[in-house]
């Protein structure tokens, strides 16, 4: 049987989306093959996005994935450039010589590089802010997701607060167990609190733009809303294998978290709740990291 256009497009989008810039290849490279460095898996990921982009010009079934694949390609290029800088001896020496609040904030703010590349591409493609959910939206919109452990429908103000509290409690426990923050570093946290807040805000915008704003809009017309939401959410989750939270638990948690934030964009017509929820959780993470010893952080 011949694959339907939607099936073929969905399969191609999932393959390229998970290989390009999600971190999946890097995880396999390090954990399964026990290799160092990330240059080769990043090149393979970029090639996957490039092949999908080429296919969008050659195969009618993939034409609607052209913008999605182009965004994937420039994002992957941006992340590769950041990794090159992060691997320089000068950067490594600097990162290990400053408080974790500073190095962690700078490392995550480096996501502005792939953000800028994707933003230029989307502007050239004449995508509007409304199409990309780059507005507040209707903060009081009904939520199609029921409250946890119930079947009751609610509104985003109620669901948003519930998500902030539940995820915040989980993050405190997870980061405390895995990163071992020290109460002795409270003075450092207070001193660098403006850095923590600013870096958390930048990271929130960058991750929402990279994993949702720039990808959901091009994907929904090509593969449908459920596929677009789950693909972008899983890509976001895989990126947290070495992140905060980390490991397989981090992947599952971040995937579900990303799905909720993606739904909030679609249901409210904007990013207001996604930004607020994500920022609240990033404040928790960045503050806890500020209580840890200096370390080499990457985006």
- β partners of residue 288: none
Which residues lie closer than 8 Å to 198 by C-beta, 6 or more apart?
A: 105
Per-residue pLDDT, 8:
79
Per-residue pLDDT, 1:
35
Per-residue pLDDT, 2:
41
Per-residue pLDDT, 5:
53
Rg (CA), the chain: 19
Provide the token pair at 144: 């199609």
Within-domain flag for 262: yes
Q: What is the pLDDT of residues 116-134, one digit of tens each?
A: 999 999 999 999 999 999 9
Within-domain flag for 298: no
Q: Which spans in the chain are helix H?
A: 5-19, 24-27, 39-58, 66-86, 89-95, 100-109, 112-124, 156-179, 186-191, 193-208, 214-223, 225-238, 247-268, 272-290
Neighbours of 181 (CB within 10 A): 19
Give the residue among 181, 204, 175, 29 at the shortest CA–CA distance from 111: 204
Per-residue pLDDT, 145:
81
- Integer Cα distance of 41 and 204 in angstroms: 26
Within-domain flag for 132: yes
Low-confidence stretches of the chain (pLDDT < 70) are 1-6, 148-151
Within-domain flag for 138: yes
What's the CA angle centered on 42, arms 38 and 44, to 5 degrees? Answer: 125
Within-domain flag for 84: yes
DSSP per residue, 207-220: HHIIIIIHHHHHHH
- Integer Cα distance of 232 and 160 in angstroms: 20
Within-domain flag for 103: yes
Query: Total structural domains in the chain?
Result: 1
Within-domain flag for 63: yes
Domain enclosing residue 86, as ranges: 5-290
| Residue reference for tokens 């600097």 | 94
Within-domain flag for 297: no
Per-residue pLDDT, 153:
81
């Amino acid at each position: 049987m011949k694959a339907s256009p939607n099936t073929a497009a969905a399969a191609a989008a999932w393959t390229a989306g998970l290989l390009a810039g999600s971190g999946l290849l890097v995880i396999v490279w390090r954990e399964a093959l026990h290799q160092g460095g990330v240059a080769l898996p990043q090149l393979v990921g970029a090639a996957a996005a490039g092949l999908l982009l080429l296919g969008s010009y050659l195969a009618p079934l993939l034409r609607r994935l052209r913008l999605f694949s182009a965004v994937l390609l420039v994002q992957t290029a941006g992340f590769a450039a950041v990794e090159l800088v992060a691997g320089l001896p000068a950067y490594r020496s600097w990162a290990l010589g400053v408080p974790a609040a500073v190095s962690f904030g700078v490392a995550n703010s480096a996501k502005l590089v792939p953000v800028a590349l994707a933003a230029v591409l989307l502007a050239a493609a004449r995508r509007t802010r409304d199409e990309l959910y780059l507005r507040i939206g209707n903060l009081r919109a009904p939520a199609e997701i029921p409250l946890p452990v119930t079947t009751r429908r609610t509104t985003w103000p109620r669901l948003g607060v519930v998500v902030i509290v539940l995820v915040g409690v989980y993050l405190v426990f997870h980061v405390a167990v895995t990163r071992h923050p020290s109460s002795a570093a409270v003075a450092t946290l207070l001193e660098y609190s403006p850095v923590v807040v600013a870096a958390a805000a930048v990271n929130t915008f960058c991750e929402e733009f990279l994993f949702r704003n720039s990808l959901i809009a091009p994907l929904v017309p090509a593969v449908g809303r459920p596929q677009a939401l789950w693909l972008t959410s899983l890509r976001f989750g895989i990126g947290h294998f070495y992140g905060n939270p980390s490991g397989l638990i981090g992947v599952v948690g971040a995937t579900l978290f990303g799905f909720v934030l993606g739904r909030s964009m679609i249901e409210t017509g904007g990013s207001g709740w996604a930004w607020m929820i994500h920022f609240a959780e990033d404040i928790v993470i960045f503050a806890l990291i500020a209580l840890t010893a200096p370390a080499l952080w990457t985006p």
